[in-house]
Amino acid sequence: MDSDVMSNGDDAAVGGIAADRLRSIIERVERLEEERKALAGDIKDIFSEAKSAGFDVKVIRQIIRIRKQEPAEVEEQETLLDIYRRALGM
Amino acid sequence: MDSDVMSNGDDAAVGGIAADRLRSIIERVERLEEERKALAGDIKDIFSEAKSAGFDVKVIRQIIRIRKQEPAEVEEQETLLDIYRRALGM
Amino acid sequence: MDSDVMSNGDDAAVGGIAADRLRSIIERVERLEEERKALAGDIKDIFSEAKSAGFDVKVIRQIIRIRKQEPAEVEEQETLLDIYRRALGM
Amino acid sequence: MDSDVMSNGDDAAVGGIAADRLRSIIERVERLEEERKALAGDIKDIFSEAKSAGFDVKVIRQIIRIRKQEPAEVEEQETLLDIYRRALGM
DNA sequence: AACGGCGACACGTCAC
DNA sequence: GTGACGTGTCGCCGTT
């Protein structure tokens, strides 16, 4: 029978191929995740260095966050914050 | 044209209402967060007690975590079965 | 000699007590965590309400965070941020 | 006055050095984060491919998660054993 | 008393 | 638009 995937002679082959495919996918992802983890470690090291040099790591993170955003976004948030503060009399 | 929210005479009223609404929201949340914090303190106390009684707090946390996860694991097993079947070409 | 905890006749009793004690600890913590979870749900509801009323939930969170801090803290962070920004020519 | 960091003649130099240092830190972190992001994109691509091949991405993630956790579970078991033994008064 | 590790919370993203 | 998921950040605790 030529039914979709489950016909006799091809079962093993197709199944085997699928299993290999699955294994390949998983292993590639795991490899990439290891690299990601390594990079995370590198970043951590840099922040340690920064701290040793007397910088405030939390503020550095803020800077990086701000640099990542659209200036308009930042402005928007600050404006709303002001409005709410005024509304509360703060 | 009386655009959406900021037209003259209603500013104060609308603003006032909005301010009250905002204040209410914030205060209710702050109240609930205090209660949450109090509960966190209670939990902490129990763990202190446990520690004093010679138990390993970290392991108790593990147990609690596991007891919480067990229902989820059931369906996880089901899906995993499916997976392995796929990997086998079934 | 009656060594610390392991002497014969008391083993069961002591063990039983310890087990009860452990069970009690775990159940009390689980109970408190349920209450915490319930409160978290309440908070979530309030934010949903806030959103429906047209407020920006993220900014409301900022407000709450600021109200929770020492004014000096806020000032400190902002000052450092300014310094770093200047140092970077931002 | 030879106060800590801000004395006259060195201000520019020290400030300049610190600014360079800060800039270096930030740029290196940003670079690494880009690499991380690129890897995340690669992983995403693989999952897209997997999905196109008919796999259930969510379940693949479960498998990867489990493969990652298994070593951890070993020591978890050990500690749990200890726990249960304690619960039994041993 | 600062440091690192751990756990909880909040945010952004993505699929539905 | 909503809900779930993964990721990043913050605070707490134990340690040195």
What gap in Å lies between CA C86 and CA D20, rounded to an integer?
A: 12
Handedness of CA C48, C53, C54, C55 (dihedral sign): negative
How many angstroms is C1' of E9 away from CA of C49?
Answer: 20
- pLDDT of A3-57, one tens digit each? 443 334 344 445 678 899 999 999 999 999 999 999 999 999 999 999 999 999 9
Q: Which nucleotide is nearest to B58 (CA to C1')?
A: E6
Nearest protein residue to nucleotide F5, judged by CA and C1' positions: D58
What gap in Å lies between CA A29 and CA D25, rounded to an integer?
A: 29
- Average pLDDT over chain A reads 85
pLDDT means over runs of 10, chain B (90 residues): 39 68 96 96 96 92 90 85 88
- pLDDT of C8-47, one tens digit each? 434 344 567 889 999 999 999 999 999 999 999 999 999 9
3-state secondary structure A13-38: HHHHHHHHHHHHHHHHHHHHHHHHHH
Task: For B25-72, give the DSSP string.
Answer: HHHHHHHHHHHHHHHHHHHHHHHHHHHHTT--HHHHHHHHHHHHHHHH
Given a contact cutoff of 8 angstroms between Cβ atoms, the answer to whether B18 and A83 are in contact is no
Give the domain ranges of chain D. 1-55, 56-90
- pLDDT of C42-73, one tens digit each? 999 999 999 999 999 999 999 999 999 888 88
Give the pLDDT band of residue D15 (cuts 50, 70, 90). low
- Residues 24-83 of chain D within 7 A of strand F, judged by CB, are 36, 40, 58, 61, 65
Instruction: Tell me how close the Cα of B89 comes to any Cα of chain A, in angstroms.
Output: 3
The alpha carbon of residue C49 and the mean position of all alpha carbons in its chain are separated, in whole angstroms, by: 24
Q: Tokens standing for A55?
A: 């910088």
Please answer yes or no on whether A87 and B26 come within 8 Å at the CB atom. Answer: no
- pLDDT of B43-63, one tens digit each? 999 999 999 999 999 999 999
What gap in Å lies between CA C75 and CA B11, rounded to an integer?
A: 31
